């Protein structure tokens, strides 16, 4: 549906001054949001930086719960930052627009 990539120097973990060079990708689909974080190079700060996380919003799915699980798992800051923009409590208010559009598009395709 919509997707994009950006290369950034960003903090990797909360409350850490360590910066990594990474590609951050976003794919907004009918069933949810995929956020990708891939380091340039993949091995940095003694870790492998290669994540692809899915946050669903299809019928029966709870996006905010998926986001909370990501917080509890300790996902990297860039992934949580992007995912937060699509939560129902975000001031950006894009969650409702994309979710409803996804439901209608799925119904039309069905």
Cβ atoms < 10 Å from Cβ of 4: 9
**pLDDT (0 to 100) of residue 24:** 96
Write down the pLDDT at residue 34.
95
Compute the distance between CA of residue 43 and CA of residue 88 in angstroms, rounded to an integer. Answer: 34
Its pTM stands at 0.83
Structure tokens at 69: 């699980």
At 97, list the tokens: 């627009």
Bridge partners (DSSP) listed for residue 27: 3, 34
Q: Give strand pairing partners of 9.
A: 21
Please, what are the averages of pLDDT over each run of 10 residues along the chain (110 residues)?
A: 90 87 91 92 89 86 89 93 87 75 78
């Amino acid at each position: 549906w919509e997707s994009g990539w950006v290369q950034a120097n960003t903090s990797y973990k909360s409350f850490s001054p360590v910066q990594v060079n990474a590609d951050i990708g976003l794919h907004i689909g009918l069933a949810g949001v995929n956020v990708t974080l891939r380091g340039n190079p993949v091995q940095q700060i003694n870790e492998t930086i290669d994540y692809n996380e899915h946050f669903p919003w299809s019928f029966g799915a709870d996006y905010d719960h998926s986001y909370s699980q990501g917080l509890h798992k300790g996902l990297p800051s860039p992934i949580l930052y992007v995912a937060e923009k699509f939560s129902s409590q975000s001031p950006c208010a894009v969650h409702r627009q994309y979710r409803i559009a996804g439901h209608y598009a799925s119904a039309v395709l069905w």
